[in-house]
Amino acid sequence: MFVVNGIPVAIVEHKNPKDGGAIDRGVTQLRRYEKETPELIDARAEDWVSTDCPLRIADTYLAREGMWKLPVLTGIINAPTLRADGSLLNQPGYDAATGLLYDPQGGFFPAIPAHPDRGLALSALRFLRGVIETFPFVTGADRAVALSGMLTAAIRRSLPAAPLHGFNAPTAGSGKSLLVDIASMIASGRPAAVIAQGKTEEEMEKRLGAALIAGDPLISIDNCEIGLGGELLCQVLTQPMLKVRLLGKSLNIEVPSTAAVFATGNNLTVVGDMTRRAIRCTLDAGVERPELREFDRDPVATVAATRGDYVAAALTILRAFHLAGRPQQTTPLGSFTEWSRWVRDGLIWLGEAAPCATMEEVRGADPKLEALTTVIEQWHTHLGSRRISVKEVIDVATDQLASFHGRADFINPEFREALLAVAGDGGAISGKRLGKWLSANQGRIVNTMRFPPDGIVFGISRWRLRGSSDEAAQSIPPASNIRPFPHHQG
């Protein structure tokens, strides 16, 4: 027995490896351990007989949460991997150092070299690149993201955090999902089980939570049609443990967040804080119907047929880099230091482009950042560094020319449009929404400019656009909002 998500469980083997499972689809599933057949003495037979465990004993045992003294199971893998210390986990069974249960399920995995060097790692890299050589990567950094997806999937259970790997193309049928399936095939031996993005953040959180509870080794958010973001998704990528709600119950349980997270979409965009948590591979076949292209082999079937070789290649690269001392190639990526030290630096060490080079493009495509940039530009043009209230800002943006032909023309139409984009309400600029938007973006630097709050006068907040290097950009102490009491001399 083990403890998973705070619940005692037993391992149940599937007769059909293709069946789904609660912790690792196609391998095993976990179920609540409620009944067993211990040996008890039958007074009449004066001998040991098998019998079901009395429900009272099972209930009492289950109620003693925190007293079970059972090993904690953090996940199930069905391929060798590396531990956080760089050692190889390749012995079937429970690994106490990681909390992982390795079940190869009859798969063949060649021996990983004990002391691979850079030359062997380069050979392994060429092998991995061979299966994706026909994909229309726009740049070398885009190919590096695809390679990073393979390496990350192979060791994600041992990493405290890893960025989202996004796969983008201007047209459907370019091969985005195939690249995700290749990484999933390496990690689990199956194509990726996908979830839909959903129309709201609440829908997305429910689907992510269910995937985390199930213990999926790889989560693929497929065919995203709106900007990808949300609090839970950000937490999934950076936090090793999360509390998620069980569907249909008002109960939160703590689960490990060790799934590799991927996303696909035509013109895929990520928004808000997700822009620093995602790398993105862009494919462009340069044809109107990329799905009609013909190739001499199916890359996913190729990996499936010799999966062990691809797992061995990925681990050889990472193991060789570890034995070389994991020399730092560039500044570690914030929130993903270990991933940077293992995967990103390992690829750069072998001469690949930096997968994180795609992050600036991701950031530039963020519609929220684009809206903020536009407001800052228009604010600077029409207001400069004036100290001003939200109402005064709206007055300037909606000021109109005197009209003699029955139609009013706005003096600053571009400024008005910029504010409507962030605080529009039925065709008008909402002061309440604009105030909330300024508060949400205060202090954020864009093109060396930012909006710090600039005090309160008579209960009304004041704002000022300042340069980030200006010492005055720091918030000044709030002004008094109480009128001076007149003193009378008598």
Q: Tell me: do 429 and 319 sit in the same domain.
A: no
Residue 99 forms part of a structural domain: no
Cα gap 194→176, rounded to integer Å = 13
The enclosing domain of 334 has a CATH number of 3.40.50.300
Residues 208 and 262 occupy one common structural domain: yes
- Domain for residue 487, yes or no? no
User: pLDDT per residue over 220-261, tens digit each?
Assistant: 999 999 889 999 999 999 999 998 887 767 778 888 899 999
Question: What stretches of 327-367 adopt beta strand conformation (E)?
Answer: none
Together in a domain, 138 and 226: yes
240 within domain boundaries: yes
DSSP 229-261: --HHHHHHHH-SEEEEEPTTSS-EEEEE---EE
Asked if residue 69 is part of any domain, the answer here is yes
Q: pLDDT (tens digit, 0 to 9) for every residue of the chain, 490 residues total?
A: 787 766 777 776 655 544 444 443 323 333 344 444 445 555 565 677 777 777 887 778 777 777 778 888 888 899 999 999 999 999 999 999 999 999 998 889 999 998 999 999 999 999 999 999 999 999 999 999 999 999 999 999 999 999 999 999 999 999 999 999 999 999 999 999 899 998 888 899 999 999 998 888 999 999 999 889 999 999 999 999 998 887 767 778 888 899 999 999 999 998 888 889 999 999 999 888 888 888 888 999 999 999 999 999 999 999 999 999 999 998 888 889 999 999 999 999 999 999 999 888 887 777 888 888 889 998 989 998 888 899 999 999 998 886 656 566 888 889 989 899 889 988 899 999 998 888 888 888 888 888 888 888 887 888 888 886 654 434 333 333 333 333 334 3
Contacts 24+ apart (CB under 8 A), 443-449: 444/372, 446/369, 446/372, 446/373, 446/376, 447/373, 447/376, 447/377, 449/376, 449/380
- Domain co-membership, 357 together with 378: no
Alpha carbons 161 and 341: distance in angstroms, whole number: 12
Same domain for 355 and 464, yes or no, is no
Helix (H) or strand (E) holding 31: strand 28-32
The residue among 306, 338, 363 that closes a domain is: 363
Q: Is residue 22 within 8 Å of residue 30, measured between CB atoms? A: yes
Domain presence at residue 93: no
Total domain count, the chain: 3
Residues 393 and 426 in one domain: yes
Quickly list H helices, 55-139.
55-63, 118-131
Q: Is 455 part of a structural domain of the chain?
A: yes
Q: Which of 343, 363, 383 is the last residue of a domain?
A: 363
**303, 186 Cβ separation under 8 angstroms:** yes
Q: Are residues 279 and 373 in the same domain?
A: no
Q: Is residue 104 part of a domain?
A: no
337-361: per-residue pLDDT in tens? Answer: 999 999 999 999 999 999 999 888 8
Distance between CA atoms of residues 335 and 277, nearest Å: 8
Q: Examine the domain organization and report whether 127 and 195 are in the same domain.
A: yes
Look at residues 210, 243, 259, 208 and name the one whose alpha carbon lies nearest to residue 76: 259
Query: 344 with 390, same domain?
Result: no
- Residue 429 belongs to what domain range? 367-473
Same domain, 397 and 295: no
Domain assignment present for residue 248? The answer is yes
Residue ending a domain, choose from 73, 107, 136? 73
Examine the domain organization and report whether 285 and 152 are in the same domain: yes
Q: Using CA atoms, how far apart are residues 300 and 438, in angstroms rounded to an integer? A: 48
Do 127 and 263 belong to one domain?
A: yes
pTM of the model: 0.76
